[in-house]
Structure 1
């Protein structure tokens, strides 16, 4: 179950959106809470691959390990948190528009709390993501429509 769902239309091909979004080292460029990323498994990326993402949540930087649960280039990806007090689950889709010249990116995000995370999710995480997710999609749109050389 997702807590949040946002979509945005982007003037770039679905393949280009996919390449940028699933190159996880780019996460800190377009996601406000992402501080750093580290791929934990050797290439190639696919279902089962793990990624450590450090996020700034509230007043702390919290590392969390995410595992890819869906990976269907260039259309669908999904991740599930497998450790830490806050475990996110993400489902993303890229839908071609205008005969593949543009893309609609839809991201769904939900959270489960373990231990102290049970308090953090409703008090800190959900309010932060409610504000952040639409801004993240706008950052993604800006990055894809106006790439930095």
Structure 2
């Protein structure tokens, strides 16, 4: 299956965007499906950091653990699910715009289904993410552009 990818331009410096988007405590603020996100261990995150994320899928809450496999501030990061029936593979990239005063954020998400998750990924998860991702990015943009630096 192919990854779902989307980009959005944000009127904030790449450093500001990267710090916010890779801080797991902010995830439920901008992603509608995220009920909670808690680092497993100390912040700030780094390669090897794990985050316990609970997402709402329909009427169910599904916990899963993701791990940072790449972390290159303020340019890119990569998270990969390590447990659960649906394991996300998320790549983020931030490109500077207008001499670094603005940013283009590109998120690319794919999923591995394990057990019951094999059926959930194409029938439930991917359609839900395709619908939710643009809203989440708009929410991210709004939060970052309307908050103090």
Shorter chain as denominator, the TM-score bin is: over 0.9
- With structure 2 as the length reference, what TM-score do the two structures score? 0.96
Q: In structure 2, list runs of 5 or more residues that go unmatched.
A: none
Q: Which residue of 2 aligns with 1:77?
A: 77
CA distance, structure 1, for counterparts of residue 66 and residue 2 of structure 2: 16
State the Cα deviation string for residues 33-68 of structure 1 (Å, max 9, x = none): 000011102234211110000000122110000000
Task: Give the length in aligned residue pairs.
Answer: 149
CA distance, structure 1, for counterparts of residue 75 and residue 90 of structure 2: 14
The change in CA–CA distance for 1:2 and 1:143 in structure 2 (over 3 A counts) is farther
SS in 1 for 2:43: coil
- With structure 1 as the length reference, what TM-score do the two structures score? 0.96
CA distance, structure 1, for counterparts of residue 24 and residue 3 of structure 2: 22
Q: Which residue of 2 aligns with 1:28?
A: 28
Superposed CA RMSD in Å reads 1.4
SS in 2 for 1:46: coil
| Preserved contact between residue 112 and residue 118 of structure 1 (Cα < 8 Å) | yes
Give the Å deviation of 1:2. Answer: 4.7
